Amino acid sequence: MARPAVFRSRVLDLMGDRLWRTTEAIGAVVGLDGPGVASAIRELREVEHGGHEIVSERSGGGWTHRLTGRRLDEVPARLKRSEIEAALSEMRELIRFRKEHEPGYRPGAEFRKVGEWLVSRARR
């Protein structure tokens, strides 16, 4: 059995193209089950394993994940209004795209949380 660091590296390499992938699709490529993929993603978010920003959202009966390419230590403490508006616009575009291409898709609480986070950053 490969070590956790090997699986983290495989997940990071796979997700480097920043495309959305389901937990199952990631697992099939890197050789992990669902809980193993979830664990690798959690660890990649930790500062000691790179502090990678990985967005996860509920989709149908499972989860989809995307590496943003940013590290959590690169996220500014306060965002400019133009950056917040651009991020909200991108979120709206993502929702529109997913609704258009995934019948029955409904945005989850993740978008609400991100929106609240962006607004809180603007108020600091």
pLDDT for residue 97 is more than 90: no
Q: Which two tokens stand for residue 41?
A: 């993603």
Q: What is the pLDDT of residue 1?
A: 53
Q: Which two tokens stand for residue 80?
A: 């400019």
Radius of gyration of the chain (CA): 15
105/32: higher pLDDT: 32
pLDDT for residue 6 is more than 60: yes
- Alpha carbon distance, N-terminus to C-terminus of the chain: 47
Q: Which domains does the chain have, with CATH numbers?
A: 1-73 (1.10.10.10), 76-124 (no CATH)
Overall average pLDDT of the 80-92 stretch: 79
Give helix 34-45 / helix 23-30 axis angle, nearest 10°. Answer: 90
Q: 29-79 pLDDT, tens per residue? A: 999 999 999 999 999 988 888 888 899 998 888 999 999 887 766 656 566
- Dihedral of the CA atoms 31, 36, 39, 41 (nearest 10)? 30
Q: What is the pLDDT of residue 26?
A: 96
**By three-state DSSP, how is residue 55 classified?**
strand
